[in-house]
A and B are shown apart, each in its own frame.
Chain A
Amino acid sequence: MPHVELLPNSSSAAAPGWTYVVDTGYDPSKVAINPKDRKRAAPRGGPRGENELSARQQTAIARRIAQLERDNDPKQGIAIPGKPSVPKTQNARRIIQYQRQIKHWLDDEEAQMAQQQQAPSSRATAASRAVAQTPRRPSIMPSGPPTPAEATPAQADHAEPEELLLSITSSMPPPLDQTQLQALLSAPPLSYAASHVAPPPAGGPPQRQFCDNCGYWGKIKCLKCGARVCGLECKEAHEATRCLKWA
Chain B
Amino acid sequence: MPPKGSKKASTHVPPQTLVLDNGAYTLKAGLIPSASANPTYNDCRVLPNCIARSTRDRCSYISSELDGCKDFGELAFRRPVEKGFIVNWEAEKTIWEHEFVEARAGLRCDPRETNLLLTEKPNCPRELQKNCDEIVFEQFEFAAYYRCVGATLNAYHSSDTSSVSSLPQECLLIIDTSYSDTTIIPLYHGRLIQPAVRRLAVGGKLLTNYLKELSSLRHYNMMEETYLLNEIKEAVSFVAPSTAQFSKDLERTWKGRLGNKRELDSSIVVDYVLPDYERSIHGHARPHDPVKSRMRRGLQPLQGPREDLLPQGNERFAVPELLFNPTDIGIQAVGLPGSIIESLNVLPEALKVGMLANVVVVGGNALIEGFMERLEAELRALVPAEYLLNISRADDPVKHTWLGAARFASQPELLKGVLVSKAEYDEKGSAWLAKRFVEGDR
Contact = CB atoms under 8 A, between A and B. Distances in A.
Nearest to A28: B330
B68 interface: no
A171 B386 contact: yes
Interface stretch (B161-169, B230-238, B243-251, B391-399): B243-251
A167 interface: yes
Contacts of A102: 82-83, 85, 87
Interface in A158-217: 158, 164-168, 171, 173-177, 180-181, 184-185, 187-192, 194-201, 207-208, 210, 213-217
A239 to B, nearest CB: 13
A81 interface: yes
A64 interface: yes
Interface in A59-92: 61, 64-65, 67-73, 76, 78-82, 84-85, 87-89, 91-92
Interface stretch (A11-19, A117-125, A230-238): A230-238
A208 B205 CA distance: 22
B345 to A, nearest CB: 6
A61 B331 CA distance: 9
Which one of A1, A81, A89, A194 has the greatest number of beta carbons of chain B within 10 Å? Answer: A81
A1 B247 contact: yes
B411 interface: no
A2 B244 CA distance: 9
Interface residues of A, number: 97
B382 interface: yes
Nearest to A209: B328
A185 B327 contact: no
B299 interface: no
B348 to A, nearest CB: 6
Contacts of B349: 158, 167-168, 173-174
Contact of A71 (B52, B53, B83): B83
Is chain A's binding surface mostly helix, strand, loop or mixed?
A: loop
Given A166-B352, A168-B384, A174-B349, A187 B194 contact: yes
A165 B78 contact: no
Interface string B337-368: 01101101111111111000000000000000
A91 B127 CA distance: 13
Interface stretch (B35-43, B131-139, B300-308): B131-139
Interface in A131-176: 131-132, 139-141, 152, 154-155, 157-158, 164-168, 171, 173-176
B254 interface: yes
A51 interface: no
A154 B195 contact: yes
A189 B193 contact: no
A64 B334 contact: no
Given A71-B24, A76-B76, A100 B123 contact: no
A2 B40 CA distance: 48
Please indicate which of the listed interface residues B141, B327, B353 has the most CB atoms of chain A within 10 Å of its own CB: B327
B333 A105 contact: no
A210 B194 contact: no
A33 interface: yes
B172 interface: no
A133 B197 CA distance: 15
A198 B201 contact: no
Nearest to A29: B332
B232 to A, nearest CB: 16
A78 B258 contact: no
B431 to A, nearest CB: 13
Nearest to A90: B138
B325 interface: yes
A2 B243 CA distance: 10
A105 B125 contact: yes
A34 interface: yes
A155 B60 contact: no
Given A76-B76, A85-B97, A207-B327, A69 B206 contact: yes
B176 to A, nearest CB: 13
A157 B351 CA distance: 14
Contact of A197 (B93, B217, B253, B339): B339
A159 B360 CA distance: 28
B159 interface: no
Contact of A215 (B90, B135, B196, B314): B314
Nearest to A53: B330
B348 A177 contact: yes
A139 B313 CA distance: 34
Nearest to A173: B349
B341 A2 contact: no
Contacts of B127: 105, 108-109
A37 interface: yes
Contact of B255 (A78, A196, A214): A214
24 contacts: A28-B332, A29-B332, A68-B213, A71-B180, A72-B77, A73-B76, A89-B139, A91-B138, A96-B139, A102-B87, A139-B334, A154-B196, A154-B347, A166-B382, A184-B193, A191-B125, A194-B123, A195-B122, A196-B201, A197-B334, A197-B338, A199-B334, A207-B328, A213-B217
Interface of A: 1-2, 28-29, 32-34, 37, 41, 61, 64-65, 67-73, 76, 78-82, 84-85, 87-89, 91-92, 95-102, 105-106, 108-109, 131-132, 139-141, 152, 154-155, 157-158, 164-168, 171, 173-177, 180-181, 184-185, 187-192, 194-201, 207-208, 210, 213-217, 230-233, 241-242
Closest 7 CB pairs of A and B: A173-B349, A102-B82, A81-B60, A78-B78, A71-B82, A61-B330, A199-B332
Interface of B: 24, 51-53, 60, 62, 76-79, 81-83, 85, 87-91, 93-94, 97, 122-128, 131, 134-135, 138-139, 141, 180, 183, 188, 191-201, 205-206, 209-210, 213-214, 217-218, 243-244, 247, 250, 253-255, 257-258, 313-315, 318, 325, 327-334, 338-339, 341-342, 344-353, 382-384, 386-387, 438
Given A28-B330, A100-B87, A187-B194, 8 more contacts: A65-B330, A71-B83, A72-B77, A92-B134, A98-B90, A185-B193, A192-B123, A196-B333
